[in-house]
Amino acid sequence: MALKKIHNIYLVSGLFNVTNSMLFTTYFLYLTNVLNLSYTMATLLDLPLFITQFFVELPSGFFADKYGYKKAVIIGTLALTIAPLIFFLTTSYPILFIAGVFYGIGFAFISGAFDALAYETFSSDLKSFLTIRNLIQNIANIIVPIITIWATQIIDLRTFYLFDFLFKLLIITILIFGIKEIKKIQEYSGYSLDFIRVGSASVLRQLRSSKAVVYQASSEFLWGITKTAIDLFWIKLIELSAGQNNIGFVFALASIVGILGNVVAYKLKIIKTAFWLSFLIHSIFVIFAGVFIGSTFAIICVLGQSFFINIYGVLSQIVINKIIQVDRASMFSFLSFLSGIGKIISILSVGFIADTYGVGSVWILAGLIIIIISWQLYLVQKHMDDTPIITV
């Protein structure tokens, strides 16, 4: 395996992290502080994203397994290039829904294909790859929010979508010229869209054959609800607890704590137990952050949940990789599809909950659901050793 290819996969992953961190820091502030949208209107703007992702997720995964992971990632990145350009060119609320459609297409094509591309490349040392990838992500989350929040003092928030557009063009260039396609050769017969039928059959076969996969799928659905609720109001919770000028600092500090969790995950030997236990402890910090919103203790809880979610972030991917044996892009897309259903439910409800009961109530509700997810993850680890190697 060429060293250059490995470096380029890390580079693409890092650039995605930079753009995600930049927009994550500014997105909700732009909608609520510049466009003056209510929490309900701001969260509903994500609805076309998740609805589009809902319909495109599975076909995109099947497409990637049939025609190649790299091609799917390029298509997804192209869509993610169009979306920020729309945000940059207009402030019209209805037109911004169109940008959400392109975001949905982009995330759907990338969600399964890029993970599959990385896993097939680093299958011999997956734990090291996941640790380094998460380390890059956390470093980006330390530096980018500080620079972003500082830059908001002199740059219009809408300008960050132009930066995102330029970054995505760079990613496409690296994908085309710097990464080699990885594709499993499979035999398909019949009409041109037969890959959808074959991919669907593979997903159903793996669900029937493995209880671990079923419980993982259930947890992904619930995680879609909770992660969306937490992510949407992450910046608002920090703003209410520490002030807008300190958002970048708290974000960076959370990433530093996340790096520590990442390192601990790499060193852990009791992977299966830590896999679900770290998620359970994470739920406690989420609940306390919501209960004590507006205080310094809420920020401490934000840092605590960052530590444990980073432990889970490494271990969960190892576990998922063990229980999914074939057609990785299809299965990863299926899990994202279930998560997308949860995201739609969250989008339709959490804005109203925040407007009615406050931002803290959203985090408390999310933390309670995470406790249920932890039970599902316990069942995953309980049955994972019984998961048969599935052949096609």
pLDDT one-digit tens code per residue, 336-388: 889 989 988 998 898 899 999 999 999 999 999 999 999 999 999 888 865 54
Which of 256, 24, 18, 227 lies closest to 135, judged by CA? Answer: 256
Report the number of secondary-structure helices (H) and strands (E) in the chain: 14, 0
Separation CA 56–CA 113 (nearest Å): 13
Residue 142, pLDDT > 70, answer yes
Alpha-carbon distance 55 to 72, whole Å?
Answer: 16
Rounded Cα distance, 185 and 247, in Å: 48
Hey, what amino acid is at 316? S
pLDDT band at 124 (very low <50, low <70, confident <90, very high): low
Q: Is 63 exposed, middle or buried (0-12, 13-18, 19+ CB in 10 A)?
A: buried
Question: Which one-letter amino acid corresponds to residue 16?
Answer: F
Q: For 56-76, what is the mean pLDDT? A: 90
Pick the CATH number of 3-177+209-385 from 2.40.37.10, 1.20.1250.20, 2.120.10.80, 1.10.3720.10: 1.20.1250.20
Token pair recorded at residue 24: 């994550």
Q: Residue 2: pLDDT above 60?
A: no
Nearby residues of 316 by Cβ (< 8 Å), 6 or more positions away:
275, 377
Residue 391's pLDDT band (boundaries 50, 70, 90)? Answer: very low
User: What is the average pLDDT across 212-236?
Assistant: 91
Q: How many CB atoms lie within 10 A of CB 20?
A: 16
Q: State the Cα–Cα distance between residues 33 and 197, nearest whole angstrom.
A: 46
Looking at residue 171, what is its pLDDT?
95
What is the dihedral angle through the alpha carbons of 205, 62, 176, 10, rounded to the nearest 10 degrees?
Answer: -40
Question: Quick one: which of 31, 99, 41, 32 has its CA closest to 350?
Answer: 41
Rounded Cα–Cα distance for residues 326 and 206 (Å): 9
Handedness of CA 345, 347, 348, 349 (dihedral sign): positive
Helix pair 328-357, 211-242: axis angle to 10 deg: 40
Tokens of 320: 């998922």
Residue 260 has pLDDT above 70, yes or no: yes
Residue 97's SS3 state is helix
Look at residue 53 and tell me whether its pLDDT is greater than 70.
yes
Supply 263's token pair. 């390192």
Quick one: pLDDT at residue 1?
41
* pTM metric for this prediction: 0.78
Helix (H, G, I), strand (E, B) or coil at 189: coil
Check pLDDT > 70 for residue 323. Answer: yes
More confident site: 337 or 198: 337
